[in-house]
């Protein structure tokens, strides 16, 4: 079933490019949701026998990444009555250009890093690197706090993809702990955005700069 895995990975790349290109925050959130659903499938693929653990993990993943996180983000977006523009420092076309460059870099890096283990697509490492880079890029170049959370989620997705494909032997305990943490993180961030909006009447993270030096 390697092909399906690779399909999902390619989808990951494409969604990333969309993320870089779009101007609507709503679309970004949906893209992240798509990524989440796709990633939720990964643990199931390439299994010899159907065991409960991967099922639980993928279920939880789909629930969180596909439904709850987008929900939270949309809520905080609504609560903050702001224009649903991304308002980047770096224009969309430039962002896409960066995307291409990042893709090249991550392919190069993936080439330097050997393929981890048998039965792992060689596409995995570059895609993971690429997703991480895109996530960081979004955090750095997008003004709104919400889009920074989006960036964080993209970063998280890249890492998750890497782990889910390459690391089949990880215990349930670990996985669940990780998911729980990410959930709480996003939850707390949502609350924080809510409060920021109430305190400042905006959620532009770049204007939170009273603490310096």
Partner 1 sequence: MILFACCLATFLLGALAALLPRSYRAASAIGAGASVLGCLLGLIPAARALVEPQGWALTLAWPPPFGLGSFAIDGVSAMFLVPALALIGLAAVYGRGYLADQEGRRRAGPPWFFYNILAAAITGVFTARDPLLLLLCWEAMALSSYFLICLEDADGAVRRAGRIYLVASNLGAAFLLVLCLLPGAAWPPVLGAADAGLASSLGGMTPVAIPAGAIFLLALVGFGSKAGLAPLGVWLPEAHPAAPSHVSAVLSGVMIKTGVYGILRVLLALPPQPWWGWTLLTLGGATAVLGVAGALGQSELKRLLAWSSMENAGLMLLGLGLGALGRAFDEPVVAALGFGAALVHMVNHGVFKSLLFLGAGSVLHATGERRMDRLGGVLGRMPVTGATFLAAALGICGLPPLGGFASELVLGLCALKGLLLPQPGLDIPSLAALAALILCAGMAAAAFSGAFGVVFLGAPRGETAQHAHESPRAMRAPMLILAALVPLLGILAPLVLRAALRALAPAIPGAEALGAPTVEALTTATLVFGLLFALLGGLLLLRRALLRGRDVRTGPTWDCGYAAPTARIQYTYSSFTQPLAEMFHALTGPTGVLTRPWGLFPARAGHVAESEDRMLNGFLALFGFIDAKLEALHRLQQGQVHVYVLYIAATLVALLAWGLW
Partner 2 sequence: MPARWTILAPAAAGAAAFVIPDNRTRRGLLVGTAVAHLALTLYAFRAPSRAIFEGALLLDDPGRLFLLATSVLFIAAAFYSAGYLKREASGTRPDMVEGRLFSNSPEARFTGCLLLFLAAMSFVCLAQNLGLLWVGVEATTLASAPLVYFHRHHRSLEATWKYLLLCSVGIALALFGTYMLALSGGGEVSLGLPALMAAGPTLNPVLLKAAFVFLLVGYGTKMGLAPMHTWLPDVYSESPSVVALLSTSLLNVSFLAILRVRQVLCAAGQAQFGNDLLVFLGLTSMGWAAIFLLRQTDYKRLLAYSSVEHMGILAFGAGIGGAGMFGALLHLFAHGVAKGAMFLLAGNVLAAYMTKNVSGVRGLVRALPYSGPLWVAGVLALVGMPPFGAFVSELTILRSALAGGRYTLAGIFLLLLSVAFIGITTACLRMAQGNRAAAAAATPAEAAATAKPMREHWSAVLPPLALLACALLLGLFHPARLAEVMVSAARITGGF
Separation CA 94–CA 100 (nearest Å)? 10
Which of 58, 114, 122, 137 is close enough to bind partner 2 by CB under 8 A? Answer: 114
From partner 2, partner 1, none, interface partner of 7 (C-beta below 5 to 8 A by class) = none
To partner 2, the closest distance from the beta carbon of 107 in angstroms equals 15
Residue 32 binds partner 2, judged by CB under 8 A: no
Stretch that binds partner 2, among 32-40, 48-56, 73-81, 194-202 (CB under 8 A): 194-202
Separation CA 131–CA 14 (nearest Å)? 10
To partner 2, the closest distance from the beta carbon of 192 in angstroms equals 5
Residue 48 binds partner 2, judged by CB under 8 A: no
Separation CA 204–CA 207 (nearest Å)? 6
Q: Are 145 and 202 in contact (CB under 8 A)?
A: no
Q: Are 186 and 69 in contact (CB under 8 A)?
A: yes
Separation CA 174–CA 187 (nearest Å)? 20
Q: Is 112 exposed, middle or buried (0-12, 13-18, 19+ CB in 10 A)?
A: exposed
Binding residues (CB under 8 A) for partner 2: these are: 112-114, 116-118, 120, 128, 132, 136, 139, 145, 148, 152, 155-156, 158-159, 162-163, 166-171, 173-174, 177-178, 180-181, 184-185, 188-189, 192, 195-196, 199-200, 205, 208-211, 213
């Amino acid at each position: 079933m390697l092909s399906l895995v690779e399909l999902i990975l390619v989808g990951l790349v494409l969604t990333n490019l969309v993320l870089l290109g779009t101007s609507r925050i709503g679309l970004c959130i949906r893209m992240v949701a798509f990524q989440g659903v796709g990633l939720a499938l990964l643990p199931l693929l390439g299994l010899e026998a159907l065991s409960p653990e991967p099922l639980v993990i993928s279920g939880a993943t789909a629930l969180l990444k596909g439904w709850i996180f987008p929900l939270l983000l949309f809520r905080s977006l609504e609560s903050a009555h702001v224009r649903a523009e991304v308002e980047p420092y770096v224009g969309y076309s430039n962002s896409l250009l960066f995307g291409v460059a990042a893709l090249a870099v991550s392919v190069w890096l993936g080439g330097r890093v050997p393929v981890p283990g048998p039965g792992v697509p060689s596409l995995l490492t570059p895609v993971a690197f690429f997703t991480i880079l895109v996530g960081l890029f979004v955090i750095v170049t997008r003004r709104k706090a919400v889009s920074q959370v989006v960036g964080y989620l993209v970063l998280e997705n890249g890492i998750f993809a890497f782990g889910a494909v390459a690391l089949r032997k990880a215990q349930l305990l670990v996985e669940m702990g990780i998911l729980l943490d990410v959930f709480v993180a996003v939850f707390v961030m949502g609350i924080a955005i809510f409060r920021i909006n109430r305190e400042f009447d905006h959620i532009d993270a770049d204007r939170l700069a009273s603490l310096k030096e």
